[in-house]
Amino acid sequence: MAKANNFGLRTRDLAKAGTFAANRAAREGVASYASAAALGDRWQAFAAYARQEGIRRMEHVTAQHVAAYGQGIAERVAAGELSASYGQNLVSAVNSVMRLASQGRWQSVSPTKDCGIEKRSNVRQEAPQGVERGTVATVADTLRTSGNERGAAVVELARELGLRSKEASLIDARAALRQAQQADQVTITSGTKGGRERTVPVTTQQQVAALTRADDAQGGARSLVPPEQNWREWREGGLRDAREALQAAGIGRLHELRAAYAAERCQQLTGHQPPMLGGQASREADRAARLAIAKELGHSRVAIMTAYIGRAA
């Protein structure tokens, strides 16, 4: 008789299959019951990600899928939302479950080399790589020259509005530009973490210019994702090309552009450079700026701001 889905684990549910594989290992003495429980819990996060990507069976999970999952975790680690150790554990758990389920045929994905999750302090101690607008403009121009106007717009919106890559991709640039011109702010609703809506103030001409170029790139579409593509296709195509163009210019990830936005806002709000560049605003001004910028970036915890502007003296 042919085996059922998920390596014959007697369930067609991907989330349950991971738990079954971990529990089987515990029963066979390959893992402790405590370890099996931890693996099962951490597998659930990947199973939820896999469902969003249209993956329904363990047999369809590839190293590329796990690497993409881990790269998303790396961004959360860089933002201070997760510790590096926990982020690495999430990826390692996927490796362990897949190895157990496939009877050892799984080739592991490295949390550090393949996913970019680094063991480091979350307290920023140097200037963001994207702080120089000239470098960002060069990247955007290169992308436009290659025909990737939408990718260029995402890069500029990340730098000028502090948007995450998914937020910048899913924004309706035409509506955002109109709101910026009328109300000096932009409401971010699509692609946000936890579905939390927020507003970003529009205080500079660079922001308006970035929105104008994004509007041009969007054309008649509803967002910067090409109308003939879904999110996954865009992420693995034009958006990946934008990330690679940034890396070629010495900007490791789009998150650095959010950090550059935060650093600039810190100086606007306090009148001082951010702490990681030696700025020494008053405690009250520093605290108020952190509260404001955290909200603008879509974070609910002020403590995360150490990953963007450093720790106050």
pLDDT tens per residue across span 172-194: 999 999 999 999 999 999 999 88
**Statement: residue 118 has pLDDT above 80:** no
Structure tokens at 124: 């920023």
Task: Give how far Cα 243 sits from Cα of 95, 136, 206, 280, Å.
Answer: 25, 12, 21, 33
Residue type at 205? Q
Cα 69 from chain centroid?
10
CB atoms within 10 A of CB 62: 13
* Statement: residue 246 has pLDDT above 90: yes
Q: What is the pLDDT of residue 79?
A: 76
pLDDT of the residue at 278: 87
Q: Are 223 and 190 in contact (CB under 8 A)?
A: yes
| pLDDT average, residue stretch 237-249 | 95
Give mean pLDDT, residues 90-117: 93
DSSP state of 300: S
Q: What is the pTM of this model?
A: 0.66
Backbone dihedral angles phi then psi of residue 214, each to the nearest 5 degrees: -65, -40
Average pLDDT, the chain: 92
**E strand map for 152-231:** 185-188, 198-201
Predicted pLDDT at 32: 84
pLDDT at site 4: 55
For residue 59, what pLDDT is reported? 94
Cβ 4 vs Cβ 33: under 8 Å: no
Look at residue 5 in the predicted model and tell me its pLDDT: 82
Measured CA to CA in angstroms, residue 118 lies from 27, 66, 80 at distances of 34, 16, 12
pLDDT of residue 1: 34
**DSSP E strand stretches across the chain:** 185-188, 198-201
* Range of 73-87, 119-133, 180-194 with top mean pLDDT: 180-194
3-state secondary structure at position 188? strand
∠ CA 72-78-207, nearest 5°, is 90
Residue 294 contacts residue 304 (beta carbons within 8 Å):
yes
| Amino acid 280: pLDDT | 87
The predicted structure's pLDDT at residue 262: 95
Q: Which of 179, 155, 169 is nearest to 222 (CA)?
A: 169
Asked whether the beta carbons of 198 and 128 are under 8 A apart, the reply is no
Cα 142 from Cα 224, distance rounded (Å): 18
pLDDT at 85 over 50: yes
